[in-house]
Chain A
Amino acid sequence: AQSVTQLDSQVPVFEEAPVELRCNYSSSVSVYLFWYVQYPNQGLQLLLKYLSGSTLVKGINGFEAEFNKSQTSFHLRKPSVHISDTAEYFCVSALYNFNKFYFGSGTKLNVKP
């Protein structure tokens, strides 16, 4: 069975500080991994995706994530956050046929001035 665990429900951080949002997945088969961002009162937007190839994936708005197969992790990072990064972030996995998506419970990033 597949599942996605986001270890932190809320992450407070000061502006211009680095941040890491943690995500672990479990799967007995190869998976594809994504990070989505949801700004207040908006839908979910794709931030970045890992399908294959390089384990370091760069996304929009300066975010990046690293796929670590041995640790079954896909942590999201940004070296310097802005107030505008305040949002909820979801880690998602998909099976090979892209007909089943598994969502983590979300991490609320609160960037303070």
Chain B
Amino acid sequence: DAGVIQSPRHEVTEMGQEVTLRCKPISGHNSLFWYRQTMMRGLELLIYFNNNVPIDDSGMPEDRFSAKMPNASFSTLKIQPSEPRDSAVYFCASSFDRENSPLHFGNGTRLTVT
């Protein structure tokens, strides 16, 4: 089990640029979550998918943020255009929506927007 894989590990970009974060969930998991972590606001749920369908995107900050899950093994979180206040660590997590299946987190992508 390779765990949840996120890429890139670090991303530094200039304000106004497009940023795409990638996530490969654990094989067999059918729920996928994107979280953002900052010192000021802690851990925030941005969006979650179940069976590749977005179920709750109420945490997405604004229209600059979008997320897709084209298949069960891949998801992206895109920020366009990026702003300095988007600087944070973005985590992807996956689970199986049955009992005995907690969240499994990736190692995160540390995004810095200058």
Residue of A nearest to B101 (CB): A98
A83 interfacial contact with B, CB 8 Å: no
Count of A interface residues, CB-CB < 8 Å: 21
B43→A45 contact, CB < 8 A: no
Chain A residues with Cβ under 8 A from B104's Cβ?
A: 46
Contacts of B107 in A (CB 8 A): 42-43
Q: A42-B107, A43-B91 are in contact. Are A103 and B43 (CB under 8 A)?
A: yes
**A interface majority secondary structure:** strand
The minimal Cβ–Cβ distance linking B49 to chain A, given in whole angstroms, is 10
Q: A43 with B42: in contact, given A99-B97, A101-B103 (CB under 8 Å)?
A: no
Report Cα–Cα, A96/B100, bound state, in Å. 10
Closest B residue to A33 by beta carbon equals B102
Q: Which residues of A contact B (CB under 8 A)?
A: 32, 34, 36, 42-46, 49, 51, 90, 92, 94, 96-99, 101, 103, 105-106
